[in-house]
A and B are shown apart, each in its own frame.
Chain A
Amino acid sequence: MSERINVLKTYKIFIGGKFPRTESGRYYQPKVNGSPIGNICLSSRKDVRNAVVAARSAFEKWSGATAYNRSQILYRIAEMIEGRKAQFIEELIIQGETKKAAEKEVDTTIDRVIYFAGWADKINQVFGSVNPVATSHFNFSMLEPTGVVGVVSSESSSLLGLISSICPIIVSGNTCVVFISESKPLCGVTLSEVLATSDVPGGVVNILTGKRKETVPHLGKHMDVNAIYLADSASEFKESLRLDAVDNLKRIVVGKESDLYSNKFENPYIVTSFMETKTTWHPIEIISGSGSGY
């Protein structure tokens, strides 16, 4: 009997809940210690465009879902990662981690998702407010998601860094287009398979692989992207993105890589960075009519 030939996996991109190949048809082979770890799509400008269209069309339904529902779906993501723990650990090891570090990264990743899942129905309770005003109005402020967020995810932390970017963005109802680690893309692509089977509606998270130099500028200039999260504060794109963002006043949020494992990364202000405040002036008959003091 002839020797069996292994089937090598082709890692595809994730747009609108589907797994297309890149429109460009190009591939690259990231290497660890000199040997290639997979065939990865080199996404193009048009993949960015398609991903933003998918994210925009998913926004209305996702932001309109109940906070409770979003919370459940995030929790489901954590469950699915748990189920694929062995695969994630294996891929982290292929990407050059030690077994011990890989296990720690996957565990922290799962905990991180659960942490942010909890904020879905609490963020407005904590950060929304009833405001004292001197006129006959009931005045209150609510936080709303910003819209489509572009993410330039961590280059070095390919799973924990990635999940710590995505969760605080989508938990409030934003949708996102994510560039995952260029040199360590395996976990990111596997995460997209998790997302596809976790009840996350198609288009809420779109995952692109490839050379960031080619694609990030198109995201920065895109008029339909409302905010950008740059995971790495030392990123080469920091200045150029700030300039490109001017046209439609994108919000640029820069993360702090060194905090990834600390509980500094578990705080709700990351969630509010991607939210906008809407204040409503609701006319009432008499101020303090109910006898309350606000």
Chain B
Amino acid sequence: MNMINTPKVDKVGIEDRISRITKRSLKKEAKMEGLKMALNMVDLTTLEGMDTNNKVSQMCYKAMHLHDEHPGLPTVAAVCVYPNFVKLAVNSLKGSGVKVASVATAFPSGHSTLDIKIKDTKLAVDSGANEVDMVISRGKFHSGDFNFVYDEIASIKEACGKARLKVILETGELGNLDNVRKASDIAMLAGADFIKTSTGKIKPAATLPVTLVMLEAIKDYYYKTGIMIGMKPAGGISNAKLALQYLLLVKETLGIKWLDNHWFRFGASSLANDLLMQIMKQTTGSYQSANYFSKD
């Protein structure tokens, strides 16, 4: 594999496959299982300038107690916060099995020196983060300085130690699907454990076509190296129906092995509640109201 001549993407083919996926729907037991699986794959996220300790600890409580009046629900996969909240999140989630992910490397723009980005990463990891979500340098990528992007990811991977590294491509800024494919390949070659679509700060964020391109990249990489890479679409996935379509896409592109929160995640804040509302709808038969579900 090399980073210069990455495969070109058949845009029409991608759109055709997506349009077929979005016309399908899951019913009854399969839907219920799908909803619970999606819930278990959520990275409950708060990445706002106005985040406070209380907001973060409240979100951690929510991660463990999604909707206590309905027993048997899974927890979410992880919470995702800024590095300075990692310690608090780790303490709040002790013993629950919910992981702590932290954004790092001058999130969301990624404009800083490597030295500071490494320190940012170490702060997160030393505070106890299980996972680090880094952003790539999109400016360098667009200037054609792919080596810089690669080296940066490799350095951050080293700084992560045991923590798993998710590499955010910020596909909304990459311009086209060919670039998405190229950035995915660079990230995987440089040592990413996960590739992730977006920061959630740029629109468009995650979309089905972009996700399919990244899943295809993961598939090719797996066939060449035998190494499994995780996928995390993030931003803009706010309802259960869409989440189920993502699961269909993963199942059909990568197979059942990837249908596990070790390999697939949703970065979202409002998705969890919509999934809960749909689960309650399936259980009780009545459409639900947001008034009866905790906000954070």
Q: Which residues of A contact B (CB under 8 A)?
A: 49, 52, 218, 221-224, 247-248
Contact = CB atoms under 8 A, between A and B. Distances in A.
B289 A223 contact: yes
Nearest to A247: B286
Say whether chain A's binding surface is mostly helix, strand, loop, or mixed. Answer: loop
B286 A52 contact: no
Nearest to A248: B289
Contacts of B286: 221-223, 247
A230 B256 CA distance: 50
Nearest to A45: B287
B184 to A, nearest CB: 35
A138 B285 CA distance: 45
A167 to B, nearest CB: 25
Contacts of A221: 285-287
16 contacts: A49-B287, A221-B285, A221-B286, A222-B286, A222-B287, A223-B286, A223-B287, A223-B288, A223-B289, A223-B292, A224-B287, A224-B288, A224-B289, A224-B291, A247-B286, A248-B289
Interface centre among B287, B288, B290, B291, by most A CB within 10 Å?
A: B287
Contacts of A222: 286-287, 289
Contacts of A52: 287
A221 B291 CA distance: 15
Given A221-B286, A224-B287, 6 more contacts: A221-B287, A222-B289, A223-B286, A223-B287, A223-B288, A224-B288
Contacts of B289: 222-224, 248
A18 to B, nearest CB: 19
Nearest to A148: B289
Contacts of B290: 224
Contact of A218 (B287, B288, B292): B287
A248 B292 CA distance: 10
A221 B288 CA distance: 9
Nearest to A224: B289
Contacts of A218: 287
Interface string B259-296: 00000000000000000000000000111111110000
Interface string B5-36: 00000000000000000000000000000000
The interface centre, meaning the residue of A49, A222, A224, A247 with most chain B CB atoms within 10 A of its CB, is: A224
Contacts of A49: 287
A229 B163 CA distance: 57
Nearest to B285: A221
